Amino acid sequence: MPVAFADPDTLHPVPLPDGSAHTGTVFLGPALSHPRIEAGAYTYASAHHPPEDWAAHLAPYLYPFSPERLILGKFCQIAHGVQFITASANHRHDGFSTFPFMIFGGGDPVGRPSMPRAGRDTIIGNDVWIGTGAKVLPGARIGNGVIVGAGAVVAGEIPSYAVVAGNPARIVRMRCDAATVARLERLAWWDWPIEAVLAAEAEICGGNIAALERRAP
């Protein structure tokens, strides 16, 4: 078990050999103050050139007044270049034109014919790894333990412990069989105290579900 582990309220949790902090990786909990984004403990994001505003970097179309939310579970890993394109990026597309007349000329856009209806929340489960340059489209629901390949464009519902890749993203394979997925979701190791998580690091990162179940606090 490691001697120490970063507190989830640490902004820059990765120490460099010289004792300084790696500013290109942040725990999103302390990095974000956006009213429409929720990020679970230990969920981190990385960028080659750290932005001043991580919320705008990750979800550029999610405004403080947006009706939808972006919800990220615990222990997620968000690589460089990932973007969450939330529902406020949408234009109305059920008629003849997609032009957003309501944003030009000022005034309240609510109720204008070109104003699209509010979209649903984008929800990312726990322990999800989203690869470099991936894009997550409005209203996507990504289950626990999913791996999203680099450059993938993800929409809709992705079941827990799937590996997806491509544009549009498709399931390449399942990481576990259905029975094991059910057992993992019952265990929900991401909700354990961090001391129990660290004590079970070998089992969490391994492939023996029975051994992991024996570690459950």
Catalytic residue annotation: 91
Exposure string (b/e) for 60-81, b if CB count within 10 Å is 16 or more?
ebbbeebebbbbbbbbbbbbeb
Gap between the Cα atoms of 11 and 30, Å rounded: 6
Contacts of 189 (CB under 8 A, 6+ apart): 197, 200, 204, 212, 216
**Residue whose entry in the numeric block shows the structure tokens 């993203």:** 169
- Sign, CA dihedral 133-84-92-104, equals negative
Structure tokens at 155: 């929409």
3-state helix, strand, coil in the chain (%, to 5): 20, 20, 60
Contacts of 163 (CB under 8 A, 6+ apart): 146, 147, 149, 171, 172, 173, 174, 175
